[in-house]
Every structure is written in C-alpha cells, then in structure tokens.
C-alpha cells in the first residue's frame, strides 16, 4: 500500500484542526454540532474510498471538487436513502470545511467558491404547529405527581414550557445553575454558541422545583449534580433526550384522546414553540420573546412563532370595530382608461 503524500497529510491535518479546534474554539459550536459535522466528513471520505477508489496517496484538495460532492449527494440519496434535509446538512458541513480551507490556504479558495454553486435539495419541511393553552393544560395533567417518575416528568415539562428552552439546555442544567431568591427564582442555561441566558421561574414552578429537589436530591444536594439525571448511571450523568421523548409521547397519546389539539407525537421542540406563541398572544414584545428563546436574530423568532387562531380572532375583531372613512370618488365614468381608473392622463402631442 502506498503511503500518504505531503498533499494528503496537509489536507488531513486541515480536516483534523477544523474539527477539533476551529469548530469548537473558533466558532463556538456545541459538541453535538461538531459530532454531526465530523460524521458528515467521515461519510464523504467513505464515499471517496468506496466509490471513487481514492486511497491515502491519492487524497488531495481536488477530492473536494464539485463533481465529487454532487456524486456524494446522489449517493446519500440513492444508496443511503437520506432525506433532502439530511443531504443539505451534509453539504453544509463540507462547505464549512472548505471555507476554513480557503482561509488557511488562499490558493484553494476556488474549492469553497465552487461548492457554493451546488444547489441544495428541495426540502419540504413538515410544519411544527403550536399547541393551544388548553392543549398544554391537558398534557400537563397526564403525569401522576404522586409517583416519583410522574413528579420528575411534570417538573421537566413545567420548566421546559415556562423557560421555553431547548431540551438539551434543560437536561444540561446542574443544581448550581439554579438560584432561589426571596423575590424570584432564576435558572442559568447555556445555549447555542455557548451563549448564557438567565431565566426567571414562576412561583408555581418554583414550588414544584423545591419539592422535586427534596425528593430526588435530598436535604444536602450536591451543586454539580444534574437536575435531571439518569437513574442507571447516577446524578453525574444527565437524563437522555430519548428517555424524555419516550415519556412525552406516552403522555401526549393520553392527552390526545381527551383533547384533539394535542398531537400524539408531541415533541419537546413543540412545547418550546407553543410557549413562544402563547407569549405573543399575551402581548409580550417579540424582542423579549427572542431573548427568551436565545435567538441571535429577530428574524429567526419571527419565523419561529406563529399567528394562532386566538391572535387572528383578536385582529379580526379590531378590524370590524374600525370605522372606515368615506373616500371621495376619484374616477369618472369615461371611455378613457386613464380617467376611468383615476390616474394622470398622458397628453398627446
């Protein structure tokens, strides 16, 4: 087997530094995003080996040509049955790497520029609708707080809804991230890009939280323990998202039988979106909602929240109550189109 060339080693080093240092330290990406990008590049390298017969001695910058990337996307779709959104995510990872390469090796900037010409796959996203306030009420009534598991699940759902946090932000909470105060209890979460947000809790949620900590963490809780931990591996390991999703779907299925607006496949993300929509219904300014959600751009929040039936009904009532002033007639009955429509007529020479 032939050994890797200097060119191969240079590109390999760029891949390694991009993944290990640049994405995390330079861009502030989370471990989850970094792992996703690493998997995408790993898949691309697998494709090059198996389909393009690229060995270590042949690995070079030219392997990231438009032709190879386009063939890779076809391979993802036809061989691995990847959805359009997954193909787009894999393409985004490659573009991110090539952008880094262009910064480190200006003579290779053409690789990144060419990659931007590749058309993304058309992705028809399934709309995630907000659940009504009534639907949320039915959902929260399903966990049996008299049992230990039910108390944990009710606590998790409550703090997830009140803070409108991402599920990973909630599961990453440690006891030291909670500050009880005589006026208001706050939690500090670390969001995307390692951005820190401090969020207040309602009194009802605070009381439930105090009961939960007493039941699950005892009288002398350890600050570094996870608030929601895995029973199998202990308080030093956080509860998994899969476990939360499984429990949530169980409660959602029960709530769906009582109230059709609760989807039987409710997700943590749907609860976050519902909270944002409810705040908008209550008249909370969109800027404050954006800060609560941890969005960098207001435009993201504008897409995120939706106009519910409640807001639409209020808007229509306001329109009906407005007395429209009578407008003077500006057009005359005429065979001339300009006069007929009431616009300025162009004079003939």
User: Would you report the helix, strand and coil content of the chain in percent, each value rounded to 5?
Assistant: 60, 5, 35
Give yes or no: 2 in active site: no
Tell me, yes or no, if 103 is annotated catalytic. no
Residue 202 clears pLDDT 60, i.e. is over it? yes
CA–CA separation, 276 and 290 (whole Å): 9
* Residue 228 pLDDT > 90: yes
**Residue 316's pLDDT is what?**
45
Catalytic site includes residue 16: no
Bridge partners (DSSP) of residue 157 are none
Residue of 37, 161, 226, 304 marked catalytic: 304
Q: Which domains does the chain have, with CATH numbers?
A: 6-115 (1.10.150), 133-311 (1.10.443.10)
Give the pair of three-digit tokens for residue 122. Answer: 């058309």
pLDDT for 281: 83
Name the band, by pLDDT with cuts 50, 70 and 90, for residue 99: very high
Task: Let me know if 13 is a catalytic residue.
Answer: no
Per annotation, catalytic residue among 90, 152, 166, 238: 166
Q: CA 26 to CA 39: how far, in whole Å? A: 19
pLDDT category at 335 given cuts 50, 70, 90 is low
Collapsing DSSP to helix, strand or coil, 156 comes out as: helix
- Tell me which of 192, 217, 250, 259 is the catalytic residue: 192
Structure confidence by residue, pLDDT tens digits, 10-62: 888 998 889 888 887 767 677 778 888 899 999 999 999 999 998 888 889 99
Q: Is 226 a catalytic residue?
A: no
pLDDT at 195 over 80: yes
Our answer to whether residue 304 is catalytic in this structure is yes
301 or 334: whose pLDDT is higher?
Answer: 301
CA diameter of the chain: 96
Query: Does pLDDT of 305 surpass 70?
Result: no
For the cut 60, the answer to whether the pLDDT of residue 341 exceeds it is: no
- Segment 308-320 mean pLDDT: 48
Q: pTM of the full predicted structure?
A: 0.60
Catalytic residue among 238, 272, 273, 278: 272
Tokens of 264: 């039987």
CA distance 228 to 282: 30
Residue 154 pLDDT: 95
Cα separation, 13 vs 31, in Å, equals 20
CB atoms within 10 A of CB 301: 21
């Amino acid at each position: 087997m032939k050994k890797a060339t200097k060119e191969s080693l240079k590109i390999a080093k760029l891949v390694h530094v991009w993944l290990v240092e640049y994405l995390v330290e330079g861009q502030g990406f989370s471990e989850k995003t970094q792992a996703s990008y690493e998997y995408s590049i790993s898949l691309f390298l697998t494709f090059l080996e198996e389909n393009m017969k690229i060995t270590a001695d042949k690995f070079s910058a030219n392997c990231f040509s438009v032709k190879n990337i386009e063939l890779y996307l076809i391979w993802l779709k036809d061989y691995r049955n990847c959805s359009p959104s997954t193909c787009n995510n894999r393409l985004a990872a490659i573009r991110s790497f090539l952008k880094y390469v262009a910064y480190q090796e200006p003579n290779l900037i053409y690789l990144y520029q060419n990659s931007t010409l590749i058309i993304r796959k058309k992705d028809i996203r399934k709309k995630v609708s907000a659940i009504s306030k009534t639907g949320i009420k039915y959902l929260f009534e399903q966990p049996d707080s008299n049992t230990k598991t039910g108390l944990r699940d009710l606590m998790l759902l409550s703090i997830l809804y009140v803070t409108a946090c991402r599920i990973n932000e909630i599961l990453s909470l440690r006891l030291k991230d909670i500050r009880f105060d005589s006026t208001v209890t706050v939690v500090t979460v670390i969001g995307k890009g390692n951005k820190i947000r401090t969020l207040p809790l309602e009194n009802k949620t605070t009381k439930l939280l105090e009961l939960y900590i007493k039941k699950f963490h005892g009288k002398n809780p350890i600050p570094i323990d996870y608030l929601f931990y895995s029973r199998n591996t202990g308080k030093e390991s956080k509860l998994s998202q899969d476990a939360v999703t499984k429990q949530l779907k169980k409660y959602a299925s029960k709530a769906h039988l009582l109230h059709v607006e609760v989807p039987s496949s409710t997700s943590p993300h749907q609860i976050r979106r519902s909270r944002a929509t409810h705040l908008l219904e209550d008249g909370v300014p969109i800027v404050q909602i954006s800060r609560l959600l941890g969005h960098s751009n207001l435009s993201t929040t504008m897409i995120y929240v939706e106009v519910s039936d409640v807001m639409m009904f209020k808007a229509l009532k306001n329109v009906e109550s407005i007395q429209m002033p009578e407008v003077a007639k500006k057009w005359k009955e005429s065979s001339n189109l300009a006069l007929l429509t009431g616009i300025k007529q162009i004079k003939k020479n």
